[in-house]
Amino acid sequence: MARLIINGKTHVVDVDPATPLLWAIREQVGLTGTKYGCGIALCGSCTVHIDGAPVRSCTMPVSAAEGKQITTIEGLAVKDALTKVQKAWLEHEVPQCGYCQSGMIMAVEALLKDKPKPTDADIDAAITNICRCGTFQQVRAAIHAAAKA
Amino acid sequence: MINTPKITRRTFLISTAAAGGGLALGLSIPFGSALVHAADGSPEITAWVVIRPDDTVVIRIARSEMGQGTLTGLAQMVTEELECDWSHVTTEYPTPGQSVARKRVWGDFSTGGSRGIRESHEYVRRGGATARMMLIQAAAEAWQVPAAECSAAKSVITHKPSGRKTTYGKVAAAASKITPPKDVALKDPKDWKIIGKRVRRLDTLDKLTGKQVYGADLKLPGMLNATIRECPVFGGKVKSFDAAKVAQMKGVKKVVQVGDTAVAVVADTWWQAKTALDALPVVWDEGPNARVSSASIAETLKAGLDAPQAFVGNQNGDAKAAIAGAAKKIEAVYAYPYQNHATMEPMNATARYTPERCEVWCPTQNGEAAFAATLAASGLPADKCEVYKIHLGGGFGRRGAFHDYVTQAVLIARQMPGIPVKLLWTREEDMTQGRYHPVTQCKLTGAFDAGNNLTGLHMRISGQSILTAVRPQALQDGRDPAQFQGVAPSGEFAFGYGIDHLLIDHAMRNPHVPPGFWRGVNINQNAIYIECFMDELALAAGQDPLEFRRKLMGKHPKHLAVLNAVAEKAGWGKPAPKGVFRGLAQMKAFNSYVAACAEVSVSGGNKVKVHRIVCATDPGYAVNPAQIERQIAGSFVYGLSALFDQECTVKNGRIEQDNFHTYDSMRIAQMPKVESIIMPSGGFWGGVGEPTICVAAPAVLNAFFAATGKRIRSFPLKNHGIAMV
């Protein structure tokens, strides 16, 4: 059994403590907005926030996340009110297939908390998510727009 | 499974099938002279318009949305003629099972070859126009006035003389009983109000909140989860496996063999299934292909470069004689590797089987092909099968012609009747069980006369044919016509240069690695071969690459127009910023004309910064320029990732790269500024999702040469120590 606090709600889940957090979130808790892409913390599709910091949940064991504040993509829009990042994503129509975008948005939310007015170099350093559809041009524009909002 | 009969007559009919809580106006195209009801009639093309009482318009889309925007584009086309309120438009997919039951009333589900819009634009617009005419007729009959006195706009019908108004929702039921008109005129493109506009995509919001359900996210009551390992050597089989070793692991329900070639573990959760599969001892019968390596494949292809026998794809004059008698001869050999699609969402499908019914939920680029795979794997007839299309986390060709993952899911589900099982591949399985961009090599020989004029060109391609492996019925006397994409004598892949003595031929050499359609297909390497060699020829002739091309393009004004457009916008011939060098490329692909001018700088001889790419495309008609811009920029990410970093190598018969650490993909830091020129010239329909991918790589390679004087002829560039920064 593990106690996970996700989007402000506590879930007690029956899971082997070595299970990656990603799979506990997707399978035991049932929140599937966080995606599996590579399983080796490279692509960033599984990015969540743990105590506010971006973490690639596919390689973090559940045991390391117990008791901490975990935020997933589903936890961003409170009562359907989009965050400024989500609004910028909507305005710039960033997603194509959209599969990587949960992780992309989570990484960007964390970046803007750390650096509210990021430069292009800040973006290049912080946003290392893979997007095979190639939405990067829109991602960059939307980050700058969110920073100005 | 599906043969597409020729359409002999196009007439839209109406169906009264209820759907979506409202009324369905089914629009079908029957054969022959008799009007045939959609339910028992035509096996061919249909568009569907459902109008609910609240005026919501549901437009049914047979093609698959995988990020490329076709859903929105097709809805725009129906809306244009239907004259409905765009803000009340929504879409949904019909199922392949319904399509078969209604004799293919929705026509082709295939979503590949950049054909989604360009091959259905007429019938979907006609579908919208027919529905509009029937709705107006219904209102006119209710008012007892001539239909000609009525008009429609934004889902409101107005009788002009009296000023009376009604809405589509109110007359939809009556409209469905009206005999559809025989003569349906489509608008002149100059009158389009929504086609050509940058309207917003219909499918963005759920992708921002985690609500969008992809195949990998599907949940069904009582569902179990599976993952699979197929023999890593293509053509090999399962010899044995020791299920007892993992049967007691937590959550494990069953260890099953899947066909002759694979083993899967079914468990409560996917992570449990994966953990058990990792621990499962499997012995493979690898077969003779275990001796094949990248080096042995390269030797086979190399022999094809000078082989006496080859299929001719494009020929005029006598290229061999021109080369033999040339005052100067230039020769170069290029090579292009295997590459994986690497969709962000790995292959997956969910199946539930009983002897009475088999259902599959899957991301697919071709619902009908997924349906065919379901029938074959379940052994059940079409009326006992169904496929539900789930949103795709990327396609790029992997999920179109191949439904190996559907077959596997059904074969697993057959061993657990009544229980839904979701099969999700690991990234490692996805990387090593691909349908790879095929390998080719290419020898190009150019001949100049004493006046430094290009008189002859021989382009010999040696390598793998996709159609031979995937669609052998499409071969022409053994020749693969798709091999000549971009260098064909005419048509949607027409060569853009006029050369007096030309020979382009293909020595087919088919290694055991399964090839597939990979975004852009064969234009990717053909564009590199021909467009880099054009720069090599220009250099040999001592001419500017643009001027050299222009001289050969006199009879290809549309090719030339896009090339000129990028040259002008990029400032070709004018000084570039310090340290920045330019390169050009042009091509015709999927019936669109495309060109690019890349600007790069190179530091340390091997660190390449691609600053900017100016791209032009003439797709005939541009349905949604905002989405075209995204396809251009996105295709460059796909193409440049391939150019710099991506190769699947073969060792002991299997693919060596198994995740993104050995098969890298571009990040935002490497993204150039992409400037798009969308210049539709009208009169034809070209594709959008794939065409532009091919010009990025040769434009960058030509710019790299301009910067360094080094001509790279084998790929990816990482093999030469060259990196994109």
pLDDT at site B14? 21
Measured in angstroms, the CA of A104 and the nearest CA of chain B are apart by 10
Name the residue among A19, A40, A97 with its Cβ closest to that of B344: A97
Q: Give the three-class secondary structure for B349.
A: strand
Yes or no, beta carbons of B225 and A27 under 8 Å apart: yes
DSSP state of B581: E
Domain count, chain B: 3
| A1 inside 8 A of chain B by CB | no
- Last residue of some domain: B376, B401, B424? B424
Gyration radius (Cα) of chain B, Å: 27
Residue of A nearest to B208 (CA): A86
Q: Averaged over B559-583, what is the pLDDT?
A: 98
Specify the amino acid at residue B96.
P
Q: Is the pLDDT of residue B451 over 70?
A: yes
Higher pLDDT, B318 or B44: B318
Distance CA B521, CA B383 (A): 35
Measured in angstroms, the CA of A31 and the nearest CA of chain B are apart by 8
Residue of B nearest to A34 (CA): B210
Q: Is the pLDDT of residue B7 over 50?
A: no
Q: Tell whether B182 and B153 lie within a shared domain.
A: yes
Residue of A nearest to B210 (CA): A33
Task: Write down the ipTM of this complex.
Answer: 0.98
Distance CA B217, CA B337 (A): 33
pLDDT at site B99? 83
Q: Is the pLDDT of residue B6 over 50?
A: no
Q: Which region holds residue B455: left if phi is over 0, alpha if psi is between -120 and 50, else beta?
A: alpha
Beta strands in A32-138 (DSSP E): 47-50, 53-56, 69-71
Task: Say if B492 falls within a structural domain.
Answer: yes
| A45 inside 8 A of chain B by CB | yes
Measured in angstroms, the CA of B156 and the nearest CA of chain A are apart by 29
Distances (CA, A) of B184 to B188, B282, B636: 13, 62, 40
Which residue range forms the structural domain that includes residue B710?
A: 294-339+436-724
Yes or no, beta carbons of B208 and A95 under 8 Å apart: yes
Distances (CA, A) of B317 to B278, B320, B408, B501, B657: 60, 9, 51, 4, 45
- With beta carbons under 8 A apart, name residues in chain B contacting A40: 427, 659-661
Question: Of A75, A60, A143, A74, which is closest to residue A107 (Cα–Cα)?
Answer: A143
Q: Tell whether B283 and B298 lie within a shared domain.
A: no
Name the residue among A31, A76, A133 with its Cβ closest to that of B394: A133
Q: Tell whether B562 and B594 lie within a shared domain.
A: yes
Q: Which of residues 53-72 of A touch B (CB under 8 A)?
A: 72
Tokens encoding B359? 């259902």
Task: With beta carbons less than 8 A apart as the criterion, state whether B165 and B155 touch.
Answer: no
Distance CA B172, CA B53 (A): 8
pLDDT tens digit string along A22-70?
999 999 999 999 999 999 999 999 999 999 999 999 999 999 999 999 9
Measured in angstroms, the CA of B474 and the nearest CA of chain A are apart by 29
Task: With beta carbons less than 8 A apart as the criterion, state whether B225 and B651 touch.
Answer: no
Q: Give the three-class secondary structure for A109.
A: helix
Yes or no, beta carbons of A20 and B271 under 8 Å apart: yes
| A122 inside 8 A of chain B by CB | no
Mean of pLDDT over chain B:
91
> pLDDT confidence of A93, banded at 50, 70, 90?
very high
- Last residue of some domain: B403, B424, B445? B424
Measured in angstroms, the CA of A127 and the nearest CA of chain B are apart by 7
- The hierarchical CATH code for the domain A84-148 is 1.10.150.120
Yes or no, beta carbons of B637 and A131 under 8 Å apart: yes
Name the residue among A27, A31, A136 with its Cβ closest to that of B668: A136
Strand partners, B333: B443
Distances (CA, A) of B572 to A5, B548, B703: 58, 13, 12
Name the residue among B207, B395, B635 with its Cβ closest to that of A134: B635
Distance CA B426, CA B265 (A): 12
| A7 inside 8 A of chain B by CB | no
Q: Is the pLDDT of residue B174 over 90?
A: no
Specify the amino acid at residue A130.
I
Q: Tell whether B524 and B588 lie within a shared domain.
A: yes
Q: Give the three-class secondary structure for B667.
A: coil
Spell out the residues 6+ positions from residue B104 whose beta carbon is closer than 8 angstroms to its own.
Answer: B2, B42, B43, B44
Tokens encoding B544? 């500017």
Task: With beta carbons less than 8 A apart as the criterion, state whether B46 and B52 touch.
Answer: no
Yes or no, beta carbons of A130 and B393 under 8 Å apart: no
Distances (CA, A) of B558 to B538, B565, B594, B680: 21, 11, 9, 10
Task: Say if B470 falls within a structural domain.
Answer: yes
Q: Averaged over B638-661, what is the pLDDT?
A: 98
- With beta carbons under 8 A apart, name residues in chain A contacting B198: none
Q: Tell whether B506 and B623 lie within a shared domain.
A: yes
> pLDDT confidence of B115, banded at 50, 70, 90?
confident
- Last residue of some domain: B424, B456, B473? B424
Task: Say if B453 falls within a structural domain.
Answer: yes
Mean of pLDDT over chain A:
97
Question: What percent of chain B clears pLDDT 70, i.e. is strictly above it?
Answer: 93
Q: Tell whether B361 and B479 lie within a shared domain.
A: no
**Complete DSSP assignment for B411-438:** HHHTTSTT--EEEE--HHHHHHS--BBP
Higher pLDDT, B701 or B16: B701
User: Looking at chain A, which residues constitute the CATH 1.10.150.120 domain(s)?
Assistant: 84-148
Name the residue among B210, B216, B345 with its Cβ closest to that of A74: B210
Q: Is the pLDDT of residue B584 over 70?
A: yes
Residue of A nearest to B207 (CA): A98
Spell out the residues 6+ positions from residue A53 whose beta carbon is closer than 8 angstroms to its own.
Answer: A110
Superfamily of structural domain A2-75 = Beta-grasp domain (3.10.20.30)
| A13 inside 8 A of chain B by CB | no
pLDDT at site B111? 85
pLDDT at site B44? 19
- Reported residue count of chain B is 725
Distance CA B537, CA B695 (A): 18
Least confident of B103-112, B470-479, B579-588, B639-648: B103-112
Task: Say if B78 falls within a structural domain.
Answer: yes
Yes or no, beta carbons of B660 and A125 under 8 Å apart: no
Yes or no, beta carbons of A130 and B633 under 8 Å apart: no
Yes or no, beta carbons of A32 and B210 under 8 Å apart: yes
Distance CA B16, CA B37 (A): 10
| A145 inside 8 A of chain B by CB | no
Q: Tell whether B138 and B248 lie within a shared domain.
A: no
Neighbours of B470 (CB within 10 A): 17
Distance CA A104, CA A140 (A): 11
Tokens encoding A104? 């992309």
Q: Tell whether B532 and B440 lie within a shared domain.
A: yes
- With beta carbons under 8 A apart, name residues in chain B contacting A44: none
Measured in angstroms, the CA of A79 and the nearest CA of chain B are apart by 12
Q: Is the pLDDT of residue B16 over 90?
A: no
Instruction: List, in sequence order, the alpha helices (H) in B416-509.
Output: 427-432, 466-470
Task: Say if B409 falls within a structural domain.
Answer: yes
Q: Tell whether B480 and B463 lie within a shared domain.
A: yes
DSSP state of B201: P
Task: Say if B563 falls within a structural domain.
Answer: yes
Strand partners, B167: B156
Find which of B225, B344, B345, B661 to mutate to test the A interface (most A CBs within 10 Å of its CB): B344
Question: What percent of chain B clears pLDDT 90, i.e. is strictly above it?
Answer: 82
Q: What is the CATH number of the domain that holds B83?
A: 3.30.365.10
Tokens encoding B714? 């084998």
Task: With beta carbons less than 8 A apart as the criterion, state whether B76 and B197 touch.
Answer: yes
- With beta carbons under 8 A apart, name residues in chain A contacting B674: 137
| A97 inside 8 A of chain B by CB | yes
> pLDDT confidence of B124, banded at 50, 70, 90?
confident
Question: Of B179, B190, B160, B194, which is closest to residue B81 (Cα–Cα)?
Answer: B194
Measured in angstroms, the CA of A68 and the nearest CA of chain B are apart by 21
| A123 inside 8 A of chain B by CB | yes
Name the residue among A20, A82, A127 with its Cβ closest to that of B208: A82
Find which of A105, A132, A140 to mutate to test the B interface (most B CBs within 10 Å of its CB): A132
> pLDDT confidence of B656, banded at 50, 70, 90?
very high
Q: Tell whether B313 and B187 lie within a shared domain.
A: no
pLDDT at site B48? 61
Yes or no, beta carbons of A97 and B271 under 8 Å apart: no
Angle between helices A84-91 and A101-114 (to 10 degrees): 130
Q: Tell whether B578 and B546 lie within a shared domain.
A: yes
| A133 inside 8 A of chain B by CB | yes
β-pairing, B311-316 with B501-508? antiparallel
- With beta carbons under 8 A apart, name residues in chain B contacting A26: 217, 270
Q: Tell whether B106 and B230 lie within a shared domain.
A: no
| A124 inside 8 A of chain B by CB | yes
Name the residue among A28, A99, A136 with its Cβ closest to that of B671: A136
Q: How many CB pairs under 8 A join A and B?
A: 172
Instruction: List, in sequence order, the alpha helices (H) in B22-82.
Output: 70-82
Yes or no, beta carbons of A129 and B667 under 8 Å apart: yes
Distance CA B397, CA B523 (A): 14
